[in-house]
Amino acid sequence: GISPLHRRCFGPERFSFVFRCLSDTFFLTSAPAPSKHNIMGKRTIEALSKEDQALLAPYPRDFEAIPKATNYGKGKDEELNKKLEDDRLTFQQTALINSLKQAVAMRQRPIFTIALIAGDCVILDALHKAGVLNQVKVIFVDTYTLFPETLAFLHEVENHYGFKAEVYHAKGLTQAEYDTKFRPTHFDEKGRLVKVEEYDQMCKVEPLGRAMEEANTDCWINGRRRDHGADRAMLSVWEGVKLNPLAFWSFEDCWLYLQRNNVPYHPLHDAGYASLGDKHSTVKVALTKWMKYEGERSGRFVGLKNSDGSAKTECGIHNRLNPNKKQKTGDSSATAVEVKN
């Protein structure tokens, strides 16, 4: 069940594209052009708990707080630049939907790991548009240190798109048990994370590894992009078991898609957070920095360091859970996630 507010605002024009990617030619189906009406209506949240409603209500999510990046110019320049942007986004949206359809057709047990950041919302919406959301297992990891708005938003999108995520967390522990037994050792008296590796393994890596093993996945759909930073700068869309359908998108592209398609987005973006992760290591980012290279994730992992003393830029999920590396090389440095054929 999709909320009436989830509109496909498309006009009558259609575009058809042919593109070459990774030495294979894909003929993309046509996609409708976007509407010029991009205002997100007030979202219906009556189906949610009163607690969730109270957390979501302060944020209008009308895109007014989201910074704009492109200088379109004036007059004819503005008209032509916006038309090119429209055409490009139509191409990207069509390619995204086709990649997801192809993945579901080719693979047997696809999963989508969702953290509810902007790119994840793009993929979730595209899975719905592709008509394959019910064929993909959606995995959400509750680290027990998330913003409460994140969990409220998860409930909102579950209701909005009519699916139920499988929620994983530290093995055998409730929130209260984690807070009592492990939070005092993971965090100091000022609330700073001091046992970074131990925390990552318990609250992120092990839960997701368990989810992947239980799903026996052969296709891990995720939202990594090249513009996230140097660690991801060489990504392709198809990466063995991993599928990175937004690899060549920019952060601005994600927001253009969200606004064009009137997609629900995390409420704390309206409060100045470019990306959302754990509450203890996520800070707001200056609006002027959002759309720059590495800008989105510049407010993540703040104050955290790896065991070698370098600044932390990854939570450990993607560099410690590597089914491709294990399959191809048998390298034991990656957490053991066996993907069976």
DSSP H or E stretch at residue 85: helix 76-106
Question: Long-range contacts made by residues 47-54, C-beta under 8 angstroms, separation at least 24?
Answer: 47/159, 48/152, 48/155, 48/156, 48/159, 49/155, 51/152, 52/151, 52/152, 52/155, 52/156
Among 121, 203, 219, 315, the active-site one is: 315
DSSP H or E stretch at residue 21: strand 10-21
Q: Is 162 helix (H, G, I), strand (E, B) or coil?
A: coil
9 part of the active site? no
> How would you classify the pairing of strands 238-239 and 242-243?
antiparallel
**Alpha-carbon Rg for the chain in angstroms:** 20
Residues 6+ apart with CB under 8 A from 268: 59, 147, 149, 150, 276
Q: Are the C-beta atoms of 199 and 192 separated by less than 8 Å?
A: no
Structure tokens at 193: 């994370």
- Least Cα distance to 115 among 75, 149, 160 occurs for 149
Residues marked as catalytic: 315
